[in-house]
Amino acid sequence: MASKHKLSFVDSELTNLKQNNLYRKLRYGKANASTITINNKKLVNLCSNDYLGIPTTKIQIKQLQSSSRLVSGNDESYKKLEETLAKHKSHQNCLIYPTGYMANLGAISAIAKKGDLILSDELNHASIIESCKLTDAKVSIYKHNDMQDLNKKIKQKGKNKFIITEGIFSMDGDLSPLKQITEISSKSNAITIVDDAHGDFVIGKDGKGTPDHFKVAKEVDLYMSSLSKGLGSFGGYVSSHNNVIDLCINKSKSFIYTSALPSFLVEYSFKRFQSNREKQKRKLIKNTEQLTKGLKQLGFEINSASQIIPIIVGDEKTAMEFGKFLFDNGIFAQPIRYPTVPKNQARLRISVTAWLSGTEIENSLGIFEKAFKKFYD
C-alpha cells in the first residue's frame, strides 16, 4: 500500500473549503477601461478598484529593479512623489512602500509596542489585523463604528494608546465617524491612525480623503493609503510627522527587507496625481449616484455612502450562484465570502468607477432586476 504524501493533509483542508463554499480559484482575464474579458467573454467590470478611471499615462520604462531603498533602490523619483503626497495629506513627511498592505504592516508594527493599547474597529482590513498582532501591544476590538463602545474600551490602561480605523470600509462602503473618533482621541491623548485606501483621491477637497471630508485632517496623526485604487497606479504610502517616518525607515521590516518599487511606477503615480482628477471624481460621483439609486429602486437594501456598494446575500452558496448568474449575463462582480467578511454575511461587492458609461450602468441594472426576481422574490 502506497504511503500518503507528507503534504496530503493539505487536501483535506481544501476539501473542507469546497464543502463550505469558501474555495477560491484564480480567473485570468484582461481588463480594459470599463470591461474585462475572461475566457473570450466580455463583461462589464463592477469589481475594479480603479475608481477614478484616470486615462492611461504614457511612461518610459527605465529601472526595472534594483534593491531595497536603504541600499541602492532609492531612486530620485521617490523624493518628488513623497513630497507631493505629504503636502496632499497636510503632513510633514511621507514614505512609499511597495503595497498598501506592506505600508500597514510596516507602520503599525514600527510605532506600537508592548505595554501600548490599540483600539481597532472590528471590520478593519486584514492588513490592519495582522499588523496589530505583530506589535505585542494589547489589542482591543471595538464594535463597528460604535463610539459608545470605543469610549468604554479606551479607558483601559496603556502607555501609548492608538485608535485605528479605515476611512471608507472596504467591504461595506460606509464611512468611519472620524469627527467623533478624533474627539475621543483628543480627550484620551490617543494617536489616531487612518487607513484611507478607498477614500484617498476619491472624496474630500481635491481628493484629500475621508479625514478632509469630515474636516479633521489635522487631527489624524498617522495616515496610510494606497496608490493602486483611486489613483489607479501601484504601491502604498504612510504620511505623518518627520519622527514617525524616520522610525519607519529604521524599524519597518516591510520597508527595509524588500525591493523598492521600480522607478517607472513611481513616475507613473506622480503623473496620474498631476492629471485632471477632479473631472474623473465628478464622473465617479455621477456613476455612483446612478447605480445606487437604481439598485434601491429595484428593491435592494443599499446602505453604502460611497463607490463601494455591497449587496448582502448572507449564505455563501447563494452568493456564489448570484455571482455566476451575473457572469452568465455579462457582469463581473465577485462574491465576497468568509474570512474576508463574517460568516453568513456573504455579498456581491460592487465597485463603481468613472470608467463606466451611463448606458453600461442602465444595462447592468436590467440584469440586476432579473437577479432580484431570481434570488429575492
Q: What is the pLDDT of residues 168-227, one digit of tens each?
A: 999 999 999 999 999 999 999 999 999 999 999 999 999 999 999 999 999 999 999 999
As a whole number of angstroms, the distance between CA 274 and CA 288 comes to 24
Q: Decide: helix, strand or coil at residue 112.
A: coil
Cα angle: 263, vertex 265, 270; to 5 degrees = 95
- The 10s digit of each residue's pLDDT in 278-296 is 999 999 999 999 999 999 9
As a whole number of angstroms, the distance between CA 320 and CA 313 comes to 10
Percentages of the chain per state (helix, strand, coil), in multiples of 5? 40, 20, 40
Q: How far apart are the first and last CA of the chain?
A: 54
pLDDT score at 218: 94
Task: Name residue 332's beta-bridge partners.
Answer: 45
Q: How many CB atoms lie within 10 A of CB 71?
A: 11
Contact partners, residue 97, CB within 8 Å, separation at least 6: 103, 106, 235, 236, 237, 238, 254, 255
Contact partners, residue 283, CB within 8 Å, separation at least 6: 53, 354
What mean pLDDT is reported for the chain? 95
- The 10s digit of each residue's pLDDT in 46-81 is 999 999 999 987 777 776 667 899 998 899 999 999
Q: What are the structural domains, with CATH classification, of the chain? A: 24-51+277-375 (3.90.1150.10), 76-273 (3.40.640.10)
Question: Sign of the C-alpha dihedral, residues 285, 287, 291, 294?
Answer: positive
State the cell numbers at 196. 484611507
Assess contact for 227 and 236: CB atoms under 8 A. yes
Q: Cα 24 to the chain's mean position, in Å? A: 20
pLDDT score at 10: 94
- The 10s digit of each residue's pLDDT in 348-374 is 999 999 999 999 999 999 999 999 999
pLDDT score at 57: 73
User: Which candidate, 214, 248, 208, 211, places its Cα nearest to that of 231?
Assistant: 208
Assess contact for 302 and 296: CB atoms under 8 A. yes
Instruction: Look at residue 2 and tell me whether its pLDDT is greater than 70.
Output: no
State the cell numbers at 8. 496530503
10 Å CB burial of residue 39 (0-12, 13-18, 19+) is: exposed
Instruction: Look at residue 1 and tell me whether its pLDDT is greater than 80.
Output: no
pLDDT score at 72: 87
131-153 burial, b at 16+ Cβ within 10 Å, e below that, comes to: bbeebebbbbbbeebeeebbeeb
Using 50, 70 and 90 to split pLDDT, how confident is the model at 97?
A: very high
φ, ψ for residue 336 (rounded to 5)? -110, 125
Contact partners, residue 265, CB within 8 Å, separation at least 6: 233, 234, 235
